[in-house]
Structure 1
């Protein structure tokens, strides 16, 4: 989780350093509070469930050769769906983007998180038409080619070859701690 917090801090630092348009990180305190609210919420909720879905569906069985019990996978996917509903109803609502009418760091962080379960074969946008339309707006705002390039590695996760046993042994403690 720490690396994600640093990533958010770096993202916000870049918005200040390069004097980006105001909608990226608004000067208006109320608008900025909406961005900050999402960024504070996502790293313990959406990020966790998206990452767990990827690892439970693909990385454990394919990369590490470890099967996930069906009840654990079902609980993971139920948690993901609950967080998708919360994302849609609490943050997106009827807005074009998560915090208003313009894209913000909240949207960039959210789309990145949601691509993790997509890379694991989860159809997170099916049954969530508002989120599907939001995804299209986010990808259009950043550019479809850039969006595709940014997510190409995670979208190929299910094609990962099995891990070398030595690498698997080294990875397991950190991976288990990360997804709990």
Structure 2
């Protein structure tokens, strides 16, 4: 039975796993879920995933729901190249694990909340952007980006070394959430982080651009509706 992958490409970790599956030629049955239409709130979906979130895997009846766990699982199950998730180099594994734990309340939280406050909530509520909340989350992002630069990357090409890992993929997909709402200057202003993001994109293309196509389209849509939401473009 084919691996089933449930995802919405507007979700950052959904994109990361989608790109990962494609880049490693792992065969899967795509199961797109439109969160904006509430498809994750049905009883049928809840029977598969009680958390009613994406992404998640159904591997012949084995359900796995957390993106970090999914990436580890796939790396080990398919015996993928060590650079993705080192199994035999404890130091590299520990550095990647460090980022995977750190990112939840840093890269992921801050970038996701800027996107949510500038687009998701105003559209859902038919209201103006709460600029004070946007500014609060934006204020944390330069610190996050600086930590990626000075601590996680330092003089390396990628987090953990000279080759791309699951940490890089998750990190870049989270920061890409700023692109649709015209906040990419937050990471482009840092030369090392900018170069790292471009390196990851080039290393994983054409799958990176395929996975992020919806991000690029959303930017064009936001260009038209942003002013009506009270956005500062």
Normalised to the residue count of structure 1, the TM-score between the two structures is 0.80
Runs (5+) with no aligned partner, structure 1 = 163-180
**Aligned match of 2:110:** 49
Correspondence 1:94 to 2:155 = yes
Output one character per residue of 1:73-130: Cα deviation in whole Å (capped at 9) or x when no partner: 2111111222111111111112100111111100011011011111221123321111
Runs of 4+ residues over 4 Å off in structure 1: 1-5
5 Å-filtered alignment, 1:5-16, equals 6-16=66-76
What is the DSSP-based 3-state SS (H/G/I as helix, E as strand, rest coil) of the residue aligned with 2:139?
helix
C-alpha contact 1:57 1:121 (8 A) present in aligned 2: no
Structure 1 residue 52: Cα displacement: 0.4
Question: Root-mean-square deviation (CA), in Å?
Answer: 2.3
Tell me which of 180, 184, 197 is aligned to 1:119. Answer: 180
1:31 aligns with 2:92: yes
TM-score w.r.t. structure 2 length? 0.63
Distance 1:84 1:157 in 2: 23
Q: Name the structure, 1 or 2, with higher relative contact order (CA <8 Å, separation 6+).
A: 1
Higher helix share: 1
Distance 2:217 2:124 in 1: 12
Structure 1 residues 146 and 64, CA gap change in structure 2 (3 angstroms): farther
Runs (5+) with no aligned partner, structure 2: 1-12, 14-50, 56-64, 226-233
Q: In the alignment, does 2:110 pair up with 1:61?
A: no
State the number of aligned residues. 161
Tell whether 2:224 aligns with 1:153: no
SS of equivalent residue, structure 1 residue 99? coil
In 1: Cα distance, 2:66 partner to 2:216 partner: 23
The structure carrying a bigger strand percent of its residues is 2
